Chain A
C-alpha cells in the first residue's frame, strides 16, 4: 500500500507532466517546474479524487509544502 507521499507524488508528477521530478515532504510549489497556481488547482482536484476528500478554498490556498499537504490529506 503506497504512502500518502507516494500517491501525492504521482498526482503532482502527472499534473505537471513531469514524471521524473523529485518530491519530498520539504518540496514547495516553486521548486517544481510547471506548478503554477492553475496547476495547483488541478493538483488539488486530482488529489481530492485520489484520496476521496474535499478541500476548502482556504485549505487549498494555505498548503505551502508537500509535507503540509500530506498532513492535511491524512487529517481528512
Chain B
C-alpha cells in the first residue's frame, strides 16, 4: 500500500480507531492489531512477500534466543552466521542474482567468450533491504552482548513488520523499538498533533516538491542530448530536491504515522542540505542506514585496520561507501555513486590531525547553523555540489549515460541548445522546502509549532499546505516513492 493512496487514507483511520478505542486496554491485543495491520499493509503489494518477512522474523527470533542461550563463543558465532546467511541470502537472491549473472556474462564477453544465460524473472520484494537489515542488527546486538533477546514472538514479529517503517525505513534498532512495542502506549494529544503535522509535511514534500521536480528530471534526463548545458545543471538540482523530497517525505510520513500510535521512530533526516562538510552530510542524510553501516560495517573494518592509521580509516570508509552504494541497487551506477562519496570523504580524513568524527552524531548543537554568513553559505555549497555530481550516476540509466550527461555540460556548444521551460511552481516548491527546513534550524522560529498563541498562524499554514497538496495531487501522477525499489 502506498502512503499517498486512497486505500491508505482509509486504512489508517480504521487501524487508529481500533488501536485507541477498541483494544487500547490490552497490550497484547494492540500488538496483534499492529501485526495484523502490518501484514495486511505489506501483503497489499503481493501476498507472496509475506512469506519472506515471516521467514526472516522466525529465523532471527530463534537466532536471538540461541545466541543468548550459549556461552561458548563458537556456538554463538555459528548462530549469528545463520542469521547473516539467511538474511543476506534472501537479499542476495532477490536483489542481486541478476546483477551477478549479468556481470559474469559481461566479464566473459570482454574476453571474447559468449555465454548464453537467461536472467531470472525475479521480482524484488518491497522493503527487503530494510527489514533484513533490521533483523540482522537484532542478532548482531545480542551477539555483542548489548541486547537481551525477547521471548515474546508476537512482539518480535510486530517489531519487524511495523507498517510505518516496514517498506523504506527508518531502519530501527531493537534497543529502541522493541521496548516500545513491549510496553503500554498512552495517547498524548500533542504527539498525535505532531504526528499529523509530520504526515502533512511529508506528503507535501513528496507530492508537491518531489513529484513536481520529477516531471522536469524525467524530461531532462530522457532528452539530455537536446537540452542546453544550464538545463542539465538545473536537472541535477531538480533531482536533488526530488530525491530529498521523496525520501525525507516518506520518512516523515513514517515517523508521523508511528507517532499516531504512540511510537517514536528515529529521525532519518536533519535538514541535510544545510551541512557544511561531507562527513556532516552523512550525519544528516538517511541517518538510520548510515548509523547501521557505521556500527556494523565501518566500525568492525576500522577496528581490523586499526594499526594502519589514516590509511586504515580511509580504506574502511571507502569500502563502507561502496557497500552502501551497492545496497541501493544491483547496478554499477550505484556503486560508482557510493565510490564518489567515499573519495569525497578522504580529504577530510587526511586533513585531520587526529581521530576524525565520521558517522558519529555531532555532540555540537545542530540547530544553530546560520546560513546568513557568507562563509557558512559557501561551505554548504561543497557537499551540495558533490551530491549533485554523484546523483547523476544515481539517476541516469547507466554509468555510460551518466558520463555522457556530465560530458555534455562541459561541451561549449551545448550551451547554445534550448533551455527547458520550468515553472515557477516548481521553484516555489523547492524554495518552500528550504525555507521550512531553514526555520527548523532556529529554535526561536521553531516555537511557531508549539506555542499556543501561534495556533491561528499554524492553522493558516496547514490550510495553505493542504490546498497546495490537493492541487499537486491532482496534477501530478501518483508516483511511488523512489526508495521502494531498494
- Shortest distance in angstroms between A76's beta carbon and chain B's nearest beta carbon? 16
Does residue B358 face the partner (Cβ distance < 8 Å to A)? yes
- Shortest distance in angstroms between B228's beta carbon and chain A's nearest beta carbon? 45
A38–B144 contact, CB under 8 A?
A: no
Residue of B nearest to A46 (CB): B306
A62–B358 contact, CB under 8 A?
A: no
Q: How many residues of A contact B (CB 8 A)?
A: 20
For B355, give its contact among A42, A49, A62 (CB under 8 Å): A42
A-B contact count (CB 8 A): 44
Most chain A beta carbons < 10 A, residue from B302, B306, B354, B360: B306
Does residue B413 face the partner (Cβ distance < 8 Å to A)? no
A41 to chain B: which residues have CB within 8 Å?
Answer: 299, 302-303, 306
State whether A38 and B354 are in contact (beta carbons under 8 Å apart), knowing that A45-B307, A58-B144, A61-B144 are contacts in the complex: no
B354–A57 contact, CB under 8 A?
A: no
CB neighbors of B among A8-51 (8 A) = 15-17, 33-34, 36-39, 41-42, 44-45, 48-49
A62–B355 Cα gap in the complex (Å)? 21
State whether A38 and B302 are in contact (beta carbons under 8 Å apart), knowing that A15-B354, A15-B355 are contacts in the complex: yes
Does residue A5 face the partner (Cβ distance < 8 Å to B)? no
B357–A57 contact, CB under 8 A?
A: no
- Shortest distance in angstroms between A23's beta carbon and chain B's nearest beta carbon? 17
A57 to chain B: which residues have CB within 8 Å?
Answer: 300, 303-304
Does residue A60 face the partner (Cβ distance < 8 Å to B)? yes
A58–B302 Cα gap in the complex (Å)? 14
- Shortest distance in angstroms between A55's beta carbon and chain B's nearest beta carbon? 9
A36 to chain B: which residues have CB within 8 Å?
Answer: 355, 357, 360
State whether A45 and B306 are in contact (beta carbons under 8 Å apart), knowing that A36-B360, A57-B300 are contacts in the complex: yes
- How many B residues touch the partner, as a band? 10 to 19
Interface of A (DSSP majority class): helix
Does residue B378 face the partner (Cβ distance < 8 Å to A)? no
Does residue B356 face the partner (Cβ distance < 8 Å to A)? yes
- Interface digits, B334-372 against A, CB 8 Å rule (1 contact, 0 not)? 000000000000000000011111101001000000000
B355 to chain A: which residues have CB within 8 Å?
Answer: 15-17, 34, 36, 38-39, 42
B306 to chain A: which residues have CB within 8 Å?
Answer: 41-42, 44-45, 48
Does residue B145 face the partner (Cβ distance < 8 Å to A)? yes
A61–B303 Cα gap in the complex (Å)? 10
Most chain A beta carbons < 10 A, residue from B303, B307, B354: B303
- Shortest distance in angstroms between B205's beta carbon and chain A's nearest beta carbon? 31
- Shortest distance in angstroms between A26's beta carbon and chain B's nearest beta carbon? 21
A17–B352 Cα gap in the complex (Å)? 12
CB neighbors of A among B124-165 (8 A) = 144-145
- Shortest distance in angstroms between B168's beta carbon and chain A's nearest beta carbon? 27
A38–B313 Cα gap in the complex (Å)? 9
A62 to chain B: which residues have CB within 8 Å?
Answer: 145
B303 to chain A: which residues have CB within 8 Å?
Answer: 41, 44, 57, 60
A38–B300 contact, CB under 8 A?
A: no
A39–B358 Cα gap in the complex (Å)? 10
B145–A37 contact, CB under 8 A?
A: no
State whether A17 and B360 are in contact (beta carbons under 8 Å apart), knowing that A41-B303, A42-B306 are contacts in the complex: no
- Shortest distance in angstroms between A20's beta carbon and chain B's nearest beta carbon? 16
CB neighbors of A among B31-83 (8 A) = none
A17–B358 contact, CB under 8 A?
A: no
Residue of A nearest to B298 (CB): A38
A38 to chain B: which residues have CB within 8 Å?
Answer: 299, 302, 313, 355-358, 360
A62–B313 Cα gap in the complex (Å)? 21
B144 to chain A: which residues have CB within 8 Å?
Answer: 58, 61
A58–B299 Cα gap in the complex (Å)? 12
Residues of chain B having any CB pair with chain A under 8 Å: 144-145, 299-300, 302-304, 306-307, 313, 353-358, 360, 363
Q: List 25 A-B contacts (CB under 8 A).
A: A15-B355, A16-B355, A33-B363, A36-B355, A37-B299, A37-B360, A38-B302, A38-B355, A38-B356, A38-B358, A38-B360, A39-B355, A41-B299, A41-B303, A42-B355, A48-B307, A49-B307, A57-B300, A57-B303, A57-B304, A58-B144, A60-B303, A61-B144, A61-B145, A62-B145
Query: 16 other contacts beyond A17-B354, A38-B356, A61-B145, with CB at 8 A cut-off?
Result: A15-B355, A16-B355, A17-B355, A38-B299, A38-B313, A38-B357, A38-B360, A41-B306, A42-B354, A44-B303, A48-B306, A57-B300, A57-B304, A58-B144, A60-B303, A62-B145
